[in-house]
Structure 1
Amino acid sequence: MIFKSRMVLATTAITFLSGWNFLVQIYFIPSFYQLAFGYTPTRAASMLLPIILVQTASSTLSGLVVSWRGRYRESLIFGYILWSIGLGLHCSLTPSSNLATQLGYGFLLGFGTGQYFQPSLIAMQAAVTKEHMAVITGVRSYLRCLGGTFGLAITGSILNRILLNAFHYASKHGLAALSSEQIKQILRNPTSLASITDSKILDKADVIKSLTLEAYFEGFRRVFYLSTALGIVSIVVTIFFIPQIELKIEKSQKEKELESSVSSSVVSISKASSF
């Protein structure tokens, strides 16, 4: 069984965690800028562009480095460190953070993410024999999707719970009394806050918007805290449980026999030609 290998278990673990972090950042970063910073949907989505572009360049670079040096471990560790730092820095963003700061954190996040893709696949394949490479590659794809699914479900629940707690606190202290239906409407469509028309809560519109903004900042901050923690776990797992294995193509017995027979034929022909 391939899963009896400690390195296989370690690489599958970081694959699951990386799938979690990758899909969460792709989904929540545009939402973060739209809901917490008030950006338009187009501008919020464009904040992913520098992350994706840098990630693509970084992934290509890491593949070239691994091909050149024959080592994947350093790229993995370096990538997870940058990725975790980028996620951690997103926790520090405030409404006063300027665009240069936001883009700088995005560049760091993208570069770290890109360093993970190619080396992680190579590390996984290096941990198994040639016969199991196809299996472990399929497992990797499955675990990335599974990690992303769990990540979106859990972080989405965290965000909604913080919003609900904020609304219940406001109702309890008389800051803004919202019905269950109004709370559900805000959770389903947060942008509806920009066009409140209900006369019963219109006089509290500014309070509700301010409350929701603070709740979103706190919610996204906790999402990034969790992602940062998972990134740190990935660093620890990579350092202690994923060693460097010499990258070489092991030939099967049939390939060795075929090469041997071809070599023998060449030698025979050479001897015959010499006569």
Structure 2
Amino acid sequence: MAEPTALAPTHTVDIEMLPMSSSKPPKSVTPSIDNSIAPPSPRSRLRTLLVLTALFLTLFISALNTTIVATALPTICSRLNSASGYAWIGGAYLLANGASAPIWAKLSDIWGRKPILLMAVGMYFATSILCAMSTNMKMLVAGRALQGTAGGGLILLVNIILSDMFSLRHRSLYFGLLELMWVIAAGIGPVLGGVFAQLLSWRWIFWIDLPVSGTSFLLLLIFLDVHNPRTRFSDGAKAIDWAGSLSILGLVIMLLLGLNFGGVTLPWDSPTVICLIVFGSLLSVVFAFSELKLAQHPLMPLRLFAKRTNVACLLVTFSQSFAVLANEYYLPLFFQSVKGASPVHSGVLLLPITVMAAVGALAAGIIIYKTGRYLELIWTGMALFTIGEGLLIKLNVDSSLPTIIIFQVIAGFGAGLLFQPPLIALQAVTSQKDIATATGTFSFIRSLSTSLAAVIGGVIFQNGMDIQGPRLRAAGLSSQSLKDLSGGSAAANVGSVLSMLSDPMQRLVVKEAFAWSLRNIWILCTCLIFCGLLFSLFIEKTALSEEHVETKTGLSKDNH
């Protein structure tokens, strides 16, 4: 790996080799981010194990909250008397999760990984209490947005810290274990959510966060020993890319709001929807200009997009993450609406896809660790995921349990092979000084795609149910049932409507309407994954280094 050198232009990050004790910049200098590569201090096996335990717990609780609400959404909407919150209980979490990722990465570059991670864990703890104590839908959605902001920091910083702790070749094994933890959390999330909603209270979905995040906080506080600079707040504030941070937040929020409102809450040609989408799109130009011309330390340096491999890796993870989240969110709805499963049973029926994703993720980590080969895993995963997702299009009212399981096994294993190889491929062609930023960009794209999956999936489903309106009306459903099954109300009212229908033919028509509307989501996901398969052909093969280097965070003076 090439040794970093000091760069003169003020629009670039200043890199210099400093002794570990030099962590506080003089008052008179312009702050710049110091990503010097420092030799890692030896860690005992016990300390390493405890740090890894804390990191895995941190990721586990964040991953759990991406899916634990899926099977409980109808119950939550019913208890809070608000069908309109169905998409936003999950969507607000994912939206804030995605928009905040690059900001957390830059904060950790400035103030160090440990204090920023502790801040994120503490924020997650507090916002979990807010969600658990929510008395109405607005309070819950606001709490979920704040919780998602913290969750974005947890997911990202765990990946960055693992990158700091281990070499590129060896970190693949720990990334594999990390993704295993992720899919386990995502897998048991719907089951736990169903159990809490059906047997206890939906509020336990959030109370369960407290002991896990509290334990993680204490372990990280005591045992995490990555480089920790003493950056003054004033100097750190000057180094933040404020224009880039605000523009990317506005971009994501406005676009997702516009897509969520369009065709459901408001017509697509309404001034509100048009303004949200148009001005959100324009903010992408503002963001690009800020990163290229204004920011001294860009939130997302555009040089990352100059390499073909980087762009291909980001597009691959976008397509994979979109489909994974869509499956986790809308397969439980299929099980409850079309197959008549309870919330708990729908979570159990989702286990084949999540278990196989866990197997695939662990297998990918071991293979990369042993052989250093990752490109073949990406191609194999994309091919299997395309086939498996395409098979989901065939799901209908008459689909048997073995058929449902087989389809999920193929899709799940393919998806599991794709959790970490694209990140390894991205980091393999990225210089050490850009590892945190590249990982932050990767997490942003992954989180953005999951946010889009929740929102766009909801729009497709709701518009599909509206299209099925005439058929439902022709079946003789009451005006109240038709209202309950229209657009944004359909998912939240699935259980109550089906339980009130005594006519078998009417029940069949309703189930077929749900199956047809959800089928459109699987079609979109299949097309996206196939595009990802094509993009993966542009990823270059790079030898994975076994040299362990650690990024020194903080600020240093300019040397020009």
Gaps of 5+ in 1: 197-201, 253-275
Which residue number corresponds to residue 304 of structure 2?
Answer: 2
**Cα deviation, residue 209, structure 1:** 2.6
Taking the aligned partners of 2:491 and 2:331, their CA distance within structure 1 comes to: 17
In the alignment, structure 1 residue 178 sits paired with structure 2 residue 476: no
8 Å Cα contact 1:78-1:112 kept in structure 2: yes
Shift in alpha-carbon separation, 1:169–1:98, aligned structure 2, 3 A: closer
- Return the letter of the residue paired with 2:456: I
Which residue number corresponds to residue 91 of structure 1?
Answer: 393
Which residue number corresponds to residue 29 of structure 2?
Answer: none
Gaps of 5+ in 2: 1-302, 550-560
Q: Matched residue pairs, number?
A: 244
8 Å Cα contact 1:75-1:115 kept in structure 2: yes
In the alignment, structure 1 residue 117 sits paired with structure 2 residue 419: yes
Taking the aligned partners of 2:360 and 2:464, their CA distance within structure 1 comes to: 35
Taking the aligned partners of 2:405 and 2:439, their CA distance within structure 1 comes to: 33
Of structures 1 and 2, the one with the larger relative CO (CA 8 A, separation 6+) is: 1
- What SS class does the counterpart of residue 479 from structure 2 fall into? coil
In the alignment, structure 1 residue 140 sits paired with structure 2 residue 437: no
User: C-alpha root-mean-square deviation of aligned residues, in Å?
Assistant: 2.2
**Cα deviation, residue 50, structure 1:** 2.2
Shift in alpha-carbon separation, 1:188–1:100, aligned structure 2, 3 A: closer
Which residue number corresponds to residue 52 of structure 1?
Answer: 354
**Cα deviation, residue 189, structure 1:** 1.3
In the alignment, structure 1 residue 209 sits paired with structure 2 residue 209: no
Taking the aligned partners of 1:178 and 1:92, their CA distance within structure 2 comes to: 31
Shift in alpha-carbon separation, 1:121–1:174, aligned structure 2, 3 A: closer
The Cα offsets for residues 78-112 of structure 1, whole Å up to 9 and x where unpaired, read as 01111111111111123332222211112112211
Of Structure 1 and Structure 2, the greater helix share is in 1
Taking the aligned partners of 1:47 and 1:161, their CA distance within structure 2 comes to: 26
Shift in alpha-carbon separation, 1:208–1:62, aligned structure 2, 3 A: same
Which residue number corresponds to residue 545 of structure 2?
Answer: 248
Taking the aligned partners of 1:194 and 1:176, their CA distance within structure 2 comes to: 11
8 Å Cα contact 1:121-1:137 kept in structure 2: yes
- What SS class does the counterpart of residue 46 from structure 1 fall into? helix
- Of 518, 521, 531, which residue of structure 2 is paired with 1:233? 531
User: Which stretch shifts more, 186-195 or 49-58?
Assistant: 186-195
8 Å Cα contact 2:484-2:497 kept in structure 1: no
Rg larger for: 1
Which residue number corresponds to residue 189 of structure 1?
Answer: 493
**Cα deviation, residue 235, structure 1:** 0.4
**Cα deviation, residue 32, structure 1:** 1.1
Taking the aligned partners of 1:25 and 1:195, their CA distance within structure 2 comes to: 25
Which residue number corresponds to residue 286 of structure 2?
Answer: none
Shift in alpha-carbon separation, 1:54–1:183, aligned structure 2, 3 A: closer
In the alignment, structure 1 residue 24 sits paired with structure 2 residue 321: no
8 Å Cα contact 1:166-1:212 kept in structure 2: no
| TM-score computed with the length of structure 1 as normaliser | 0.81
**Cα deviation, residue 249, structure 1:** 5.5
Percentage of pairs with the same residue? 27
| TM-score computed with the length of structure 2 as normaliser | 0.41
Shift in alpha-carbon separation, 1:187–1:33, aligned structure 2, 3 A: closer
The Cα offsets for residues 146-205 of structure 1, whole Å up to 9 and x where unpaired, read as 10111111111111111112113444x574463574445545311111332xxxxx78x5
